[in-house]
Amino acid sequence: MTGGRFVRLNPFVANNARVFDYVTGGKDNYDADREAADWLMSAHPQLPRDFTKAQEFTRRAVRWLGRTGIDQFADLGTGIPRQPYLHEYAPGSRWAYVDNDLVVAAHAQALLQLGDGSQVVLADFTEADRLFEKLGHVLDLARPIGVVLGSVLDFLAKPAQLVEALTDRLTPGSHLVISHAASDIWPERSDALERTFNERARMELFPRSSEELRSLLAGWTVVAPGIMGVDRWQAPDMEPGDGRDIASEPLDPVIYHGVTARL
């Protein structure tokens, strides 16, 4: 994952956001992205399902946070947006969709058609001062914010820096919605996934164990039902119909999902 500044278009090098786009059935990608993604999927045929399930989890979590009264969100590392868009799950909420990739930001701007003060924010989330300055133009930093971290911490060698910045600067009542590659659910698969990402797609992936995630999120309280490796995360106050996108049989994904709260 890019450590600093903005990412410009280079169609000849596989790009994290466009590889995700291709794996989840999108059309905003180039040959280099498709080649890298095809490598990943030939080694890990379950990837499209796991990425799609991760996105479905995020939508369920946002819908629940919206119901609990959170009305402002920051999606850090938005990627190329796919319908239905996250803000649709929390009607009336204000969003900052943040990415440091100029192509992602342009797509997001065109696709999301935001109103009511929501914005696409071009920012590097590893530069906390600048990130929060920009977020402050869109969101009220004195009130709780729902922060979506969908498949971003696992591309950071030192995710603690970002989590610490969020812990220090977000007001109590804020929540993190997290999807993160697991190293200890199916260790052989995670090892192979890490190797394929790092060697074939030239994107450093850092799957982590539940223990590592617990310590990374030590300043946060995990919301029931917990950080889970199965496709089972349900909102604590699930309403009829909320679980329609949850598989009836447990799956064997290689991604952890969970929500944490800042008390």
Please enumerate in sequence order all residues whose Cβ is within 8 A of that of 148, keeping only pairs 6 or more positions apart, or say none: 58, 61, 62, 73, 74, 75, 76, 86, 177
Give the contact letters, 107-146, x = binds to ligand SAM (CB under 6 A), - = no. Answer: -----------------xxx--------------------
Instruction: Characterize the bridge pairing of strands 255-261 and 175-181.
Output: antiparallel
The residue count for binding ligand SAM (CB under 6 A) is 22
Q: What's the distance, CA 206 to chain centroid?
A: 14
Q: How far is the CB of 10 from ligand SAM (least distance, A)?
A: 13
159 contacts ligand SAM (rule: CB under 6 A): no
φ, ψ of residue 46 in degrees (nearest 5): -80, -5
Give the contact letters, 17-56, x = binds to ligand SAM (CB under 6 A), - = no. Answer: x--x---------------------------------xx-
Cα–Cα distances in angstroms (integers) from residue 114 to residues 17, 20, 76, 88, in the given order: 20, 23, 16, 11
Of the candidate residues 150, 159, 229, 258, the single one contacting ligand SAM (CB under 6 A)? 150
- Other C-beta atoms within 10 Å of 212: how many? 16
Window 47-106: residues binding ligand SAM (CB under 6 A): 54-55, 77-79, 98-101, 104
Give the binding site for ligand SAM (CB under 6 A). 1-2, 7, 16-17, 20, 54-55, 77-79, 98-101, 104, 124-126, 150-152
